[in-house]
Amino acid sequence: MQTKRVVVKVGTNVLTNKDNRILGPVLKELVRQISVLYERDVMVILVSSGSAIAGREVLGECSLEDKSVRRQVYSAVGQPRMMRHYYSIFHDYGMRCAQVLATKRDFAPGKYRENMISCYEGLLSQGIIPIANEDDAVSLTMSMFSDNDELASLVAELVNADRLIILTDTEGLFTGHPDDDDSEKLNEVTTNQDVEKYVQASEKGEGEGRGGMESKLKIAKGTANKDIPTYIANGKRANVIVDIVDGKEVGTKFING
């Protein structure tokens, strides 16, 4: 299958170190891979987390008591900071990028969805890399995406992507905890396989992203069911995106079946 469009979702845990600071070299490696694919006429739509952490880096501990308002403030401050990072690195590679912020309403059938499609198609036709994120600053809690994995899946469907790649901090889906010696990585999973039993509950701190492996598994299966092969792989692994597009056995691949 010829790949022309790939949606890549990169999580907060890929973009940050243990001190929750944004890692410049990781962003640079992401953009380098996108530029490699661009030269092959493969367009990447990047769904990037990190705005809340980037805002928290600037503001430190915020005195606001309401958790959702605090997240809005962190995200509103952090989003332009993330885009400045991306804009600068893409510019170094002679490429252009654009910010596309969305709420769940934008994907509902009707004029909002049609408007989103026009936006993405317009950007892609001009060779501009769309960078998508939830518009946390104005999203209503009741209509928020469960996490950016869900947003990435909706974007993949919207742009008729050939693949969805979800980058996280593990090598893929394992039969137990990734650190256990007797755990094995599953290279390929069909949507009718019962692999949910392998998922460990994850503990995350504030600003660290909302999506654990349980969410990723649900989204990966759901997207694969729409005939978009989906991968869960380690975002800090060198050349991971290009290797997946090249058909190498990296991460866990989910296919319809």
Q: For residues 251 and 254, give the distance between their C-alpha atoms in angstroms, rounded to a whole number.
A: 10
- 225 in a known ligand binding site: no
| Main-chain phi, psi angles of 219, to 5 degrees | -65, -40
Residues 6+ apart with CB under 8 A from 203: none
User: Residue 253 gets which letter from DSSP?
Assistant: E
- 243 in a known ligand binding site: no
Q: For residues 70 and 62, give the distance between their C-alpha atoms in angstroms, rounded to a whole number.
A: 7
- 136 in a known ligand binding site: yes
User: Residue 208 in contact with residue 12, Cβ under 8 Å?
Assistant: yes
- 234 in a known ligand binding site: no
Q: For residues 228 and 113, give the distance between their C-alpha atoms in angstroms, rounded to a whole number.
A: 19
Residues 6+ apart with CB under 8 A from 133: 47, 48, 49, 51, 79, 82, 99, 100, 101, 102, 148, 151
- 169 in a known ligand binding site: yes
- 111 in a known ligand binding site: no
User: Residue 71 in contact with residue 136, Cβ under 8 Å?
Assistant: yes
Q: For residues 219 and 224, give the distance between their C-alpha atoms in angstroms, rounded to a whole number.
A: 8
| Main-chain phi, psi angles of 163, to 5 degrees | -150, 150
- For the annotated binding site for ATP, the residues are 9, 168-169
- For the annotated binding site for substrate, the residues are 49, 136, 148
- For the annotated binding site, the residues are 9, 49, 136, 148, 168-169
